Amino acid sequence: MAYVSIREAAEMTGKSVDTLYRKIRQGKLSASKNHDGDAQIDIAELVREFGALQQQPTTSIKHKPVADAEMQAMQLQLLQAKLDAAEAKLAMKDDMLAMKDQVISALERTVLLLEHKPHPQAPQSAEVITPDQPPAGSPRREMPDAIDLAPAQEQTKKQRKASLLGAKKKGKS
């Protein structure tokens, strides 16, 4: 569908501009408005109403690509703006994801510190300590050769009872 201006349609049909406007008002010829608000007529409408045309439009072909180029440029700008907005949103989400990872890492370290249970200290060296040799770094003490453990032993109830009964019998006799 190629559209031409009213003036170009008048040249192609050999009719006056007033005649074309009168046919548009009467509804015998349909017209539309372009993006600038100017009236334009489809070439197929001209052929339907007037038959064969005197010349093919040359100027409309020049105008239409300009209008298309302008439209494409506007669409390209719109798409570029949408792309920029999407890239900015993606970058912001990447930043938020990195911050989330940092927070998780910090929280994991905190949990490890809170759950830390110190292990009992193992001896630094596997040194064998003998009774006549004190541990390294401690003052030397004299150890007795034999220790009497009998007074330290605890007597059972029966043994105490028996000793008490034996002491009473000796006292009565």
> Which residue, among 24, 51, 56, 53, has the nearest Cα to 39 in the 3D structure?
24
Local confidence band at 100 (pLDDT 50, 70, 90 cut-offs): very high
Mean pLDDT of 159-166: 70
Mean pLDDT of 109-134: 67
Which tokens is 47 given?
């052929």
- Write down the CATH number for the domain with range 3-57: 1.10.1660
Cα–Cα distance measured from residue 173 to residue 165, given in angstroms and rounded to the nearest whole number:
13
Mean pLDDT of 100-127: 78
Q: What ranges make up the beta strands (E) of the chain?
A: 3-5, 32-33, 39-42
> What are the residue boundaries of the structural domains of the chain, listed by start?
3-57, 61-113
- Tell me the sheet residues that pair with 5: 40
Flag whether pLDDT at 94 surpasses 90.
yes
Flag whether pLDDT at 152 surpasses 50.
no
Most confident of 66-70, 87-91, 148-152: 87-91
Mean pLDDT of 124-132: 56
Return the minimum-mean-pLDDT range out of 41-55, 94-108, 118-132, 141-155.
141-155
> Are the C-beta atoms of residues 163 and 169 closer than 8 Å to each other?
no
